[in-house]
Copies of this chain bind each other. A is one copy, B any other.
Amino acid sequence: MSSLCFPVSAKKYRELNDESRQLVAQRFAVLAEPMRLRLLQILFSGELSVNGLVKLTGGTQTNVSRHLHTLTAAHLLDRRKQGSQVFYRVADPTVRKLCELVCGSLEKQFSEQADAFRAD
């Protein structure tokens, strides 16, 4: 399984071109929004309608809908219409891994800072 930035050989990594780098940056940008992360977190437990997400998040219908659109356009969510309702669910399993990696990194970072204080 190769990838745009996966190791090509043992130590050599293929470099992304400007266009690919732009796409990677856009993917990260989609995740760089607290409300979108909140929506993803909720949807990790299963699919839900827009109204359900509005109620759980406390956000406005406009805002929730727009963020869901952004996440769907990035292929991170799938859309399913049922009657007048629209159900969204996580389409890309890597999203959860990305969040876990960042959370783990932040936790480690803060732990080390706490240790540094104790060491003083």
Give me the interface of A with B, judged by CB distance under 8 Å.
1-6, 13, 15-16, 18, 20-29, 31-34, 37-38, 41, 44-45, 75, 92, 94, 97-107, 109
Q: Judging by beta carbons under 8 Å apart, are A3 and B34 in contact? A: no
A88 to B: closest C-beta gap in Å: 17
Counted per complex, copies of this chain come to: 2
A100 to chain B, nearest CB (A): 6
Is A105's CB under 8 angstroms from B27's CB?
yes
With A75-B109, A105-B92, A105-B94 as known contacts, state yes or no: A28 contacts B25, CB within 8 Å: no
Contacts of A22 in B (CB 8 A): 34
Partner of A3, one of B6, B92, B104: B104
